[in-house]
Amino acid sequence: MKNKIFISAIFLFLLNAGISQTLQNIVNQASNTLNGGSNGNQSNSNPLTNDDVVKGLKEALTIGTNNSTGLASKLDGFYKNPALFIPFPPEAKQVKDYAKQIGLSAQVTKFEMTLNRAAEEAAKNAASVFINAIKGMSISDGFTILKGSNNAATEFLRNKTTNELTQKFTPIVQAAIDKVQLTKYWNPIITKYNKIPLVQKQNPNLTAYVTERALKGLFKLIADEELKIRTNPAAQITSLLQSVFGSLLH
């Protein structure tokens, strides 16, 4: 009887030890993946290197910006997307109201459509600007982004590049405005309004307005793309993306 009890005790001890070791192995492997093998247990996994993380994040942003500019630059990419639609300049709302009152509703609609056409046209040239900005990501930036929120990469790109992008984007937007003849629809409206006695003259900077709203729309699309890549395995379309972002899903 004592022998049976002794054997049973040994069996339970080995069983518990096996379970504990299995759990420890799982923890070690997960930690090893996220920390680049810093816990020394590298034989059971392929830990991410610093270069892997940065390359993966650059790849994610490249894919995200290419997809976003593709969506934004197609016909009606802004105009028929409620999340991106550029309305009449808010500071000139009284101009819009007056134009409608005197029978210029069709011109107002055409003007708003052309505002959005200008943004769509400008977006065709945005991808290369974003890609150049992505190249400057450091290793420190990479790990901060990897462990950050679901829009951390987008916010990194926004914070690092908005000023430069605005400078580079402005002539692109101006060329787009000229191409779609935006002022042809704006000038009759604003001219009639500014002839009203005693009103405060209005002349919003349309290039600055379209530039700001176009960039806002593009970053919205980039954030959507980042969320998909972070949380949806089907969006992790390369082995590097699967390695970097797949480690966050387990």
pLDDT for the residue 245: 82
Residue 207 has pLDDT above 90, yes or no: yes
pLDDT at 35 over 60: no
Upper half-sphere CA count for residue 214 (Cβ side, 13 Å):
34
- Say whether both 97 and 139 belong to one domain: yes
pLDDT for 137: 84
Segment 203-227 mean pLDDT: 93
Cα dist from 34 to 38, 50, 219, 250, whole Å: 9, 11, 27, 10
Predicted structure pTM score: 0.74
Angle at which helix 93-101 crosses helix 182-194, to 10 degrees, equals: 80
Mean pLDDT of 37-59: 67
Query: How much is the average pLDDT of 62-73?
Result: 93
| Neighbouring residues of 41: CB distance < 8 A, sequence distance ≥ 6 | 25, 28, 29, 32
Residues 180 and 240 occupy one common structural domain: yes
In this structure, the answer to whether residues 130 and 112 fall within a common structural domain is yes
Which pLDDT value is given to residue 128? Answer: 83
> Which range of residues forms the domain containing residue 64?
50-249
- pLDDT greater at residue 234 or residue 37: 234
Token pair of 154 as six digits = 């987008």
Q: Do residue 139 and residue 32 come from a single domain?
A: no
The tens digit of pLDDT for each residue in 119-156 reads 999 898 888 888 888 888 888 888 888 888 999 999 98
> Do 58 and 71 share a domain, yes or no?
yes
| Cα–chain center distance at 164 | 17
Q: Which residues contact 72 (CB under 8 A, 6 or more apart)?
A: 78, 84, 119, 120, 123, 126, 214, 217, 218, 221
How many domains does the chain divide into?
Answer: 2
User: Could you tell me if 26 and 76 lie in one domain?
Assistant: no
Check whether residue 82 and residue 2 sit in a common domain. Answer: no
Q: Of all residues in the chain, what percent carry a pLDDT higher than 70?
A: 80
Looking at residues 189-214, what average pLDDT do you find?
90
Mean pLDDT of the chain: 80
213 band by pLDDT with thresholds 50, 70 and 90:
very high
Predicted confidence at residue 199, as pLDDT, reads: 85
